[in-house]
Amino acid sequence: MDSIQRDHKSGTTSAEGFLFFSAKDAALAKTEQKKVDYLEARMDYSKPETILRVYQKAIEERIFKTPVGIVYLKKLQDYLLKEGQMKAEQVPPIALYQYYDNEVRPQPEPARKRIQPAPVRQEKQNVALPISIILNILLVIAILAMFVISFSAEQPNIFNYERALTDRYSSWEQELQEREQVVREKELELHISE
């Protein structure tokens, strides 16, 4: 294994036999070499199906990005196609997410610019406002009607309980006075005195 070496003149860094433009990329290559060493120590080349699963998972999850990892993937791919006796359709190609010509391509727009909120439809807004106003007016009318019913109800409620109780007691009192009057008249009639 190579160590990471920095060339101060050119500003490049080498690691694992490759020359990188940044120390970050060289460190990533070094990390990938450790992953390769780990996998190699545990790889059972007598089971091509297991190797195929490791190979596919490494491609799907984009575990290897630097040439160090790509070279290892190519080694696994060659093994699967030759010694593993797999068909080319069974072994997926290695995805390289880089440009290799010097042609300047336009940068893709950020997702925020590509995904714009749907414009508000003016028709829906024009219809929604009058409906909302009508519903609000109906609700106000319903609330006022409930207050009127509550104030004019014969049954005691929070608004008229004092008046209802006063009216009830006064009617009882009047009834009681009328009965007393009837009893007194009867007493006089019968000449009963106390």
Q: Where are the domains of the chain?
A: 5-101, 133-190
Longest dimension (CA), the chain: 141
Q: What is the pLDDT of residues 134-184, one digit of tens each?
A: 999 999 999 999 888 877 777 777 776 777 778 888 889 999 999 999 988
Global pTM value: 0.48
pLDDT for res 109: 65
Name the DSSP class of 118.
Answer: P
Q: What is the mean pLDDT of residues 97-120?
A: 65
pLDDT for res 90: 85
CA contacts within 13 A on the Cβ side of 146: 7
Which among 74, 67, 72 has a CA at the least distance from the CA of 21? 67
In contact, 77 and 84? CB cutoff 8 Å: no
The mean pLDDT value of the chain amounts to: 81
Q: What is the mean pLDDT of residues 49-63?
A: 88
Query: Pick the residue with more confidence: 156 or 190?
Result: 190
pLDDT for res 179: 93
Give residue 22's identity as a one-letter amino acid code.
S
pLDDT for res 122: 63
Q: What is the pLDDT of residues 63-82, one digit of tens each?
A: 888 888 989 989 988 888 88
pLDDT for res 144: 95
Q: Which residues contact 69 (CB under 8 A, 6 or more apart)?
A: 29, 32, 35, 36, 58, 63
pLDDT for res 138: 97
CA–CA separation, 153 and 143 (whole Å): 15
CA–CA separation, 4 and 22 (whole Å): 11
